[in-house]
Amino acid sequence: MIKDRETCPFLFNATIDSDGSSVQQWFYSAINKGFMITSTQNPKIKLVRQLLTQTKARKKQGAFVLEGIRLLEVAFNSPFTPELLLYTADLDQRGLSLVKEFESGGVNCELTAPNVFSSASDTETPQGILAVYPLISLPIPDEADFLLITDEIRDPGNLGTLMRTALAAGVDGVLLPPGTVDPFSPKVVRAAMGAQFHLPVKSASWSEIKEITRDLTVYLADMDQGLNLWQPDLTEPVAIIIGGEAHGPGIIAREFASKVLHIPMSAKSESINAAAAGAVFLYEIRRQRTLASK
């Protein structure tokens, strides 16, 4: 039984849920079951570690890891269910209430010793909660008329931010050509803030992308070439290619695009990063379409 205030301060400050049940009571019940993962060699801990560090393992197992209270709150309100949830006793009330909700929904939730949890976590200061989810594969809509193509985006933070922005801007789907970072790597997942649960994201060859975008005008975002972003009519069905920050779009992407656009910038500015540029392009498309619909 955990009775120490420092080990689990939440137990000494528990409140009653709106339905009259106590999260504190539920937690004591979980503790009294006597089950806790205490070994770093536990197969579930090894699995989590592999899923967090290896793209190959994620593909083989068909699963990825989501870590942190906020991300799991987003995931809880999605149609998807985790296969496993690990948590520690030092979670605050918000975290433990979330664990209780998952467990009430039939999810296997396992108490884990803090040091063991930290050995598997991808963050420097773990919040004490993570879950293993099946890889999400939402289909690109057949009638899609607004797509984002991320060419050779290798920075996880940039890809995750682009995905988050794409969801907010109303993009129908994101296409990932060869050379783009794994959309289910932990840093991408954190930066995307749950976008994977609502936004179709598909890794595809250029031949597949050609078929998907056959009825769309494909624009390439360039640093200073092509049309000024404010010039073309972007209310038509479009796909926009955003290239990697280091070298920009690759040769195949440049040959694939039918038109080129650039963002007008001050002469004092050399460039902006891929995620920021993507936000500008995507929201100009949204702006034009919003005005056209009025």
Which pLDDT does position 192 carry in this prediction?
97
pLDDT band of residue 24 (cuts 50, 70, 90) is low
Lowest-pLDDT range, 104-113, 189-198, 231-240, 266-275?
266-275
CA distances in angstroms from 163 to 6, 167, 186, 279, listed in the order given:
39, 6, 14, 10
d(CA 85, CA 128): 10
Which pLDDT does position 240 carry in this prediction?
97
Mean model confidence pLDDT for the chain = 88
For 261-277, what is each residue's pLDDT tens digit?
A: 998 887 766 678 899 99
CA distances in angstroms from 113 to 26, 86, 168, 170, listed in the order given:
18, 10, 38, 41
Question: How many CB atoms are closer than 10 A to CB 157?
Answer: 17
For 282-292, what is each residue's pLDDT tens digit?
A: 999 999 999 99
Which pLDDT does position 20 carry in this prediction?
38
pLDDT band of residue 157 (cuts 50, 70, 90) is very high
Q: Which helix (H) or strand (E) holds 192?
A: helix 186-192
d(CA 202, CA 174): 6
Q: Which domains does the chain have, with CATH numbers?
A: 9-134 (3.30.1330.30), 146-292 (3.40.1280.10)
Which pLDDT does position 265 carry in this prediction?
82
Which pLDDT does position 25 carry in this prediction?
55
pLDDT band of residue 12 (cuts 50, 70, 90) is very low
Mean pLDDT of 98-103: 94
Output DSSP code: residue 152.
S
As given in the structure block, the two tokens for residue 194 are: 């749950």
Pairing of strands 227-228, 173-176: unpaired
130: β partners: 67, 86
pLDDT of 47 > 80? The answer is yes
As given in the structure block, the two tokens for residue 126 are: 């773990």
What's the pTM? 0.86
pLDDT of 23 > 80? The answer is no
Question: How many CB atoms are closer than 10 A to CB 106?
Answer: 8
Say whether 228 sits in a helix, a strand or coil.
Answer: strand
Say whether 205 sits in a helix, a strand or coil.
Answer: coil
Which pLDDT does position 5 carry in this prediction?
37
